[in-house]
Structure 1
Amino acid sequence: MPIIDLFKRVLPKVGTSAADSDGPVNVQTILEDFSSSLHAPIPVADQTEADQIASAAPASAFPLFVFNQATVTLDVMSQQGAAWDMVGGRPHGLTATLYQTNLPNGVVKNLGIGSITRQTEGWALSSDNVRLTVPSTGLYLVQVNINVSGDSQTLGRVFTEFEVEGQKYRTGSAAEDQMNFVSVIPITAGSTIATYFYHSAGGTRSVQQGMLTVVQTLAPRWKRG
């Protein structure tokens, strides 16, 4: 088994003869073998491994580049203790259908996710089809477009809202059966998004032809402290 150093470079074995299986004896051959094993960037399985390498690396190793296989991104740490910056990779996104029947009068009720029509890797849907787990920290555009059954003039007060990290984002209107709501929200990886609806029509309504779109617009380098 080859010996791997901190930066995942293969350390060549030193042998007694260039022809022997225990490794080369020639210094030039050893250096050539070593240089050909260099990784730029360093492949890591996830953020935890990247942090471990960065914490053990000497100051001379920075700027330190890694390829994060979990997020499929190229990340760099400019100096020891700095934040990771994503310098390569594609942002995340998802589109899904929304539905709900028997929406009661005067009650804020969740909209279910019927199906996910497009998605990047890493999204997760709760077992009750209500909450989406976000795969990566960033600034997200969240949009919902719904069509409510019934005469728009009878709906009274209506609104749609998102709930992210315990914070609610809401738009309201009067007597509208077609609603389009957009919000730009900073979201942390592992947080969930849920969509809710309210009306005061006096009876029950249902949401038809709903669509939820979530797009990571960028991954900002948030200031620390």
Structure 2
Amino acid sequence: METQAYPKWQLALDSAAIALFALFGALLIYSGITSFAVTSQNSEFLAAKILLMVLAAWLSADFVSGLVHFLADNFGNPDTPFFGKVFIYAFREHHVDPKAITRHSFIETNGANCLVSLPPMIYIWVATSPTHDYLLRLYFVLFFLSIFLTNQIHKWSHMDSPPRLVGALQSAHVILPVAHHAVHHAAPHDKYYCITCGWLNAPLERLHFFQAIRKLLK
């Protein structure tokens, strides 16, 4: 596959997406902080519920990362309108040159995930209540942040010398470990698609989940 330059229009789009993601993320986090006192008075076992939301959001992001990765690897092509340039090309290039992602800027690495998160993020901000829907909002804030981190985590898994804290989190399998992700990069690249933490890769592989989806869609 011929390597394509990062176009200026995509740089502008990704930059705007990251800025808007940061804005609405900050608004949601601020509303959560200011609503915490009211919510804590009206909700039993709030600490346990918050921990459950953290786990649910992390696992949800891992699953979504795998599903998107699977679809981009197996359907469409880099010439598919809009999605080809913004999403599919990056995944296909990655198999040809796995280290290419380590040369991408912060904006190029994380812009697409911010872009795809914006519509549901704005909807959650507009359509839900900071107090009555506190746990729902918390779940989605954590989910969006996990999605935002996913491609950065993926990038770290290909770096020869990631930051020390990142290396510790990889070793503890809190985030995607290097050796774990290497399973996906063994030809024919048809397993272990989840790239946030990779916790769901083994269970989904045992269930033949992505193989079933491929048969269904093809």
Q: TM-score, normalised by structure 1?
A: 0.23
Higher strand share: 1
Higher helix share: 2
